[in-house]
A = this chain, B = another copy of it.
Amino acid sequence: MAAQRGEGDGVVTSPEAPADVRERARAIPEAAVARLAVYLRVLSGMVEQGVTTISSEELAGAAGVNSAKLRKDLSYIGSYGTRGVGYDVEVLVSHIERILGLTRKHSVAVVGIGNLGHALANYGGFPSRGFPVAALFDIDPDLTGVPVGGIPVNHIDDITSVCSEREVSIGVIATPPQAAQAVCDRLVSAGVQCILNFAPVVLQVPDYVEVRKVDLAVEMQILSFHVARRADEAANDVVNGIGVDGVVIRP
Min distance, Cβ A67 to any Cβ of chain B, angstroms? 12
Distance between A106 CB and nearest chain B CB, rounded to angstroms: 5
Contact mask for chain A residues 178-220; partner B; CB cutoff 8 A; 1 contact, 0 none? 0000000000000001111000101010001010101111111
Which of A222, A224, A227, A233 is the most central at the interface, judged by chain B CB atoms within 10 Å of its CB?
A: A224
Question: Which B residues are CB-close (under 8 A) to A47?
Answer: none
Instruction: Confirm or deny: A34 has a beta carbon within 8 angstroms of a beta carbon on chain B.
Output: yes
Tally of A interface residues using CB under 8 Å:
81
Q: CA separation between A26 and B14, bound complex, in Å? A: 43
Interface string of A17-44 (1 = CB under 8 A from B): 1000111011010100110011011100
- Complex formed: what's the CA distance from A170 to B224 in Å? 8
A-B CB contact pairs (8 Å), 22 listed: A7-B66, A14-B236, A22-B233, A28-B225, A30-B222, A40-B221, A42-B202, A62-B202, A99-B228, A100-B221, A100-B228, A108-B220, A116-B119, A119-B119, A130-B224, A170-B224, A193-B227, A193-B230, A194-B224, A194-B226, A194-B227, A195-B223
Decide if A38 touches B202 in the complex (CB within 8 Å). yes
Q: A25-B232, A115-B119 are in contact. Are A101 and B217 (CB under 8 A)?
A: no
Whether the pair A125, B217 counts as a contact (CB closer than 8 A) is yes
